[in-house]
Amino acid sequence: MQKTILALAGEMGCGKGTLTRYLVSRHNAEVYRFSNPLRDILDRMHRETSRDHMQQLSTALRQVFGDDILSEIILADVGQSESPFIVIDGVRRESDIKYLRNLLGFKLIYIDADLETRYTRITFRGENTSDTTKTIEEFIRETEAEAESRIRGLKEISDIILENNGTIEDLEEEFENAMK
């Protein structure tokens, strides 16, 4: 049986996590996140899992081990999975899908949302330690960081683009329509 492997890309707060939760609950998807290896390392080092630390660690790992190191980790995890439906959350650059793109059943989905909507979502959810007190200026600065700035280019090579400036239900419906 062919697997369905959906890689989700989009800027901070666009709705990747929301769509991932939907795919887990509705389609029983197994999830892999590009941030998980970074969080694991930071936890092991007893460091704060702030967005800044994750961006710095990601850059350092890529400089030492190659731009596709996280892609290699995710590919190995996906290869060991027996799940028929896999979601890969948090693709940030083309090298992240270097190996995944060759897998049968692979699709890159780009989720797009405007800046103000994304800022509101980020500060409301408080996923990282500094998110709840973040100003709009700080948020804009973070979107210009190396790890974040390369995300926009993925829109051009995506198989599916979802607009997410509405409700959760709107996003879920747009996804289901796109998959038909």
Write the single-letter amino acid at 8.
L
Is the predicted pLDDT of residue 50 greater than 90, yes or no? no
Query: Six-digit token pair at 22?
Result: 């939907």
Nearest in space to 68 (alpha carbons), one of 44, 90, 102, 100: 100
Q: Could you read off the pLDDT of 148-180 as tens digits, one per residue? A: 778 989 999 999 999 999 999 999 999 999 988
Residues 6+ away with beta carbon under 8 Å from 178: 109, 160, 162
What integer pLDDT is reported at residue 31 of this predicted model?
A: 97
CATH number where 9 lies: 3.40.50.300
What average pLDDT does the segment 55-78 reach? 93
Q: Could you read off the pLDDT of 81-134 as tens digits, one per residue? A: 999 999 999 898 898 898 899 999 999 999 999 999 999 898 887 666 667 778
Establish if 171 belongs to a structural domain: no
- 47 φ, ψ (degrees, to nearest 5): -115, 155
What integer pLDDT is reported at residue 126 of this predicted model?
A: 66
Q: Which domain holds residue 23?
A: 4-165
Instruction: Using the structure block, give the residue that is written with the tokens 């990282």.
Output: 128
What integer pLDDT is reported at residue 149 of this predicted model?
A: 74
Establish if 49 belongs to a structural domain: yes
What does DSSP say about strands 4-9 and 160-163: parallel, antiparallel, or unpaired? unpaired
Establish if 116 belongs to a structural domain: yes
Query: Six-digit token pair at 119?
Result: 């800022």
What integer pLDDT is reported at residue 150 of this predicted model?
A: 84
Contact assessment for residue 90 and residue 39, using Cβ atoms and an 8 Å cutoff: no
Establish if 81 belongs to a structural domain: yes
CA dist., res. 65 & res. 102, Å (int): 21
Number of domains into which the chain is organized: 1
Query: Six-digit token pair at 16?
Result: 């990747």
Identify the band that residue 147 occupies on the pLDDT scale cut at 50, 70 and 90.
low
Is the predicted pLDDT of residue 64 greater than 90, yes or no? yes
Length of the chain: 180
| Residue 180 Cα to chain centre, angstroms | 23
What does DSSP say about strands 106-112 and 160-163: parallel, antiparallel, or unpaired? parallel
Establish if 180 belongs to a structural domain: no
Establish if 73 belongs to a structural domain: yes
Contact assessment for residue 22 and residue 170, using Cβ atoms and an 8 Å cutoff: no
What integer pLDDT is reported at residue 133 of this predicted model?
A: 77
Establish if 172 belongs to a structural domain: no
What integer pLDDT is reported at residue 1 of this predicted model?
A: 66
- Supply the pTM of this predicted model: 0.85
What average pLDDT does the segment 67-91 reach? 93
Establish if 173 belongs to a structural domain: no
